[in-house]
Amino acid sequence: MSAPETFDVVVVGGGPSGATAAETLARAGRSVLLLDRAGRIKPCGGAIPPRLIRDFAIPDTLICARARSARMIAPSDKRVNMPIEGGYVGMVDRDRFDEWLRDRAAMAGAQRRTGTFEALDRDADGTAVIRYRPEGRKGAETTSVRARTVVGADGAKSAVAAQAVPGAKENRCVFAYHEIIRAPKGGADFEPSRCDVWYQGGLSPDFYAWIFPHGDTASIGVGSMQKGFSLRSAVARLRAQTGLDACETVRTEGAPIPLKPLKRWDDGRDVLLAGDAAGVVAPASGEGIYYAMEGGRLAAEAVDERLRTGDARALRTARSRFMKSHGKVFMVLGVMQHFWYRSDKRRERFVSMCADPDVQALTWQAYMNKELVRARPGAHARIFFKDLGHLFGLSPA
């Protein structure tokens, strides 16, 4: 019996994070196996900011719609429009987008295989052994490959993380469900260049619901971490009240979304997590594509350093660099979600705050560029005092 193949890196999971990690490592000259399950599409609104488009060279052909405003809907049905001055948020379909990223990784030199990860074992010399079941071959037996390093990019409930990284099983999640529908031609509460976000306890007791344009289709979904809350029923109610219940349903998808980054992303040896497996989804907004791809790039750079030097401490740099760049944003958004999403009374005040021009300007600048805005201290001060007014009920809702 021949010995299993050996790769510098096996990347488990071919979403935006895994595909980005595989491409980056392949371009660095590493032998890479990218392993992904067939037919996997994550439920996702599909919004990508201009910084992602620039940083990761995303072609216009993948942008299926351009959102030029967002509309926030309060429990009272009050509606606040937030126009994007001089720009747009790109919308992508995850089936096409993810496959294009995987193809780009393959063109860079990564080897693609379709299969389901089953276990991470060790050879006699301590080298990691990835066991997976190939898909597309009836009755196929488990296959093994050796890996000098492993990137676990297999989602929020990562099997790689559960086996290799202490504390990974304890990460809490929001559960998301959405339906891809044919976009209406008229007669519905829908605008093809606007993202709608519904902050209503009846649609989500602790998160939000959304309607996002995707060109010929639209994503309508909801998230919640409350056990027993019916996500499907919430989407059905939202479709009925917006007139979207008459639209054809193309497909439905559901998956967990992590609430915050894990405290540890590596096993101190040769395994490193990225994307949802590492918990890099922004609190409050649930945005994950940019952070997944940024995390995949940082993971690749850390793994490359680990392979070059033999020093496992290099793996820690992925998390430290990510948190240095984005930790404050995640902290602020986490506080927002914890406070403002707890009741309809607070949601009402939160949507009222979104009508403020200072809030809108700084929100869009931070979102589009993926960093807190420091250039307008006066605006920050005004927002601080207005926020206090809302907190203590001194401002009108």
266: DSSP letter: B
Residue-level pLDDT at 259? 80
Residue-level pLDDT at 265? 97
DSSP string, 255-273: EEEESS--S--B-SSSEEE
- Tracing tokens 């009755």 back to the chain, one arrives at 139
pLDDT band at 2 (very low <50, low <70, confident <90, very high): low
Give the whole-number percent of the chain exceeding pLDDT 90.
69
Q: Over the stretch 32-70, which tens digit does the pLDDT of each residue have?
A: 999 998 877 777 788 999 999 999 999 999 999 999 999
Residue-level pLDDT at 358? 83
Q: Over the stretch 361-390, which tens digit does the pLDDT of each residue have?
A: 888 888 888 765 555 544 444 444 344 444
Average pLDDT, the chain: 89
- Alpha carbons within 13 A on the beta-carbon side of 380: 8
- Alpha carbons within 13 A on the beta-carbon side of 86: 4
Inter-residue contact 178 to 38 (CB < 8 Å) = no
- CA–CA dist 233, 248 (Å, integer): 17
Residue 17 has pLDDT above 90, yes or no: yes
Residue 129 has pLDDT above 90, yes or no: yes
Inter-residue contact 352 to 397 (CB < 8 Å) = yes
Which tokens in the block code for residue 210?
Answer: 């959304």
- CA dihedral of 194, 200, 202, 206, whole degrees rounded to 10: 110
Residue-level pLDDT at 196? 96
Secondary structure of 324-352 as H, E, C letters: HHHHHHHHHHHHHHHHHCCCHHHHHHHHH
Residue-level pLDDT at 379? 43
Please state whether beta strands 89-91 and 6-12 pair in parallel, antiparallel, or not at all (unpaired). Answer: unpaired
Please state whether beta strands 6-12 and 65-67 pair in parallel, antiparallel, or not at all (unpaired). Answer: unpaired
CA 173 remoteness from chain centre: 12
Residue-level pLDDT at 274? 97
Q: Over the stretch 334-369, which tens digit does the pLDDT of each residue have?
A: 888 888 888 999 999 999 989 988 888 888 888 888
Q: Which of 334, 324, 338, 336 is nearest to 371 (CA)?
A: 324
Residue 394 has pLDDT above 80, yes or no: no
Q: Over the stretch 173-231, which tens digit does the pLDDT of each residue have?
A: 889 999 999 999 888 899 999 999 999 999 999 999 999 999 999 999 999 989 899 99
- Alpha carbons within 13 A on the beta-carbon side of 167: 10
CA triple 286-255-96, angle to 5 deg: 80
Residue-level pLDDT at 136? 62
pTM: 0.90
Inter-residue contact 146 to 6 (CB < 8 Å) = yes
Mean pLDDT for the stretch of residues 251-265: 90
